[in-house]
Amino acid sequence: MAKRPKTLNDILNGVIKAKEDVKAIREILLANLVMMGEIPAPTFGEEARIRFFLDRFTESGLDSISTDEVGNAFGYLRGKEGEKTILVAAHTDTVFDDTIDHTVHVESSRIFGPGIADNSLGCAVVASIPQIFQQLNIELNHNILLMGITRSLGRGDIAGIRFFLNNHKVPIDYGLFVEGAQLGRLSYSSIGMLRGEIHCTIPDEYDWTLFESSGAISILNDVITKMMAIPLPTKPKTTITLGSLNSGTAYNTVPNSGSLYFEIRSEQAGMVSELHDRIQEITEEVSLNTQTNVDLEVLARRRPGGIAFSHPLTKVAKRIQESLGLNPKIEPSVGELSALIDKQIPGITIGITQASQMHTLKENISIEPIYNGLAQLAGILQAMDGGFCDE
């Protein structure tokens, strides 16, 4: 019979034991991880991975298993009373398209594969929660809604979780988002963000001698130079990141198109808007001066917000991490947590293990820290369920 913790200290003491006990489901978790990781799931192409989620939910005997119009998968792990609902979710899409070899390689201490950390491991953990609870003899009072989220990354712009929160009929009391990495992450707030692309296209009738231009790369370099010259404040903390420049096909061919990917982050929403306007002016200026088409496309926006550092959920999650010997790393989120914040639902995002070479074909994770990550997850859910995170 499951024994529910009566105090927060019961949970803090319990996670130490859970770290060892959860090792018994190693084979189940790794099997789910390998199978999940070898299913390509580019944004807007997550269908096969969602089917795998639904199969696992069915095998685990979850209730009300279903999908919605944007492809999200969910199933209920019913609590004894079921008065509240705790959302536990992981985004299913990765940054890799389906032309990439998704073979997963398991070694004695590490696992390699495209997207294995972001976010195949997060998906495998959510799919394995019924087995984790069974192994740890955990029975909750309230309902757990397990969810695989679609359309999160890039142009997806967290559309999957937004659709769910706008249309799901059952109120969500808490949210816990699971990322494969990094262990110790504790996100409880969102930062102001704008993600955009600047596209340069040179018209077919362009006079190449007029401005002595060397093509789209030169024009985008002019844009970059002007962007880098924008003064940025230290307070509020503000950054402009130039993430990627794509142009050209050969050594001896002048490119007539190209794209620059960038991201603005700031603790103040007004600063994000101000920098967007300045970059818009830069593109218009360069376009006019070069007589080419230089356009700014906004892909995603986020507003600052979230629960406070002093909120019981933040404090309890931090104590659970510290009880496992982890060093909590407080960092704002621009992912699914932002949608929860917009709905004023308390929630956090955590990581499960340590990862290296993220978002490359050599992406890999450490196996041993996963058990700390699972114990952390179980402890936080017990704390949410027991009312220790309520204001």
Domain boundary assignment for the chain: 8-190+305-385, 192-302
Q: What is the pLDDT of residues 215-236, one digit of tens each?
A: 899 999 999 999 999 999 999 9
Q: Per DSSP, what are the bridge partners of residue 74?
A: 66, 147
CA pair distance 279, 298, nearest whole angstrom: 11
Q: Which fold has domain 8-190+305-385?
A: Aminopeptidase (3.40.630)
CATH of 192-302, one of 3.30.70.360, 2.30.30.230, 3.60.70.12, 3.40.190.10: 3.30.70.360
Q: How confident is the model at residue 388 (pLDDT cuts 50, 70, 90)?
A: very high
Six-digit token string for 202: 């040179």
Query: What global pTM score does this model have?
Result: 0.92
Alpha-helical regions (H) of the chain: 8-21, 26-37, 47-59, 121-136, 159-167, 216-228, 269-290, 312-323, 337-342, 370-385
Contact 176, 246 (CB under 8 A): no
For residue 211, the model assigns a pLDDT of: 53
CA pair distance 102, 88, nearest whole angstrom: 26
Q: What is the pLDDT of residues 186-195, one digit of tens each?
A: 999 999 999 9
Q: How confident is the model at residue 288 (pLDDT cuts 50, 70, 90)?
A: very high
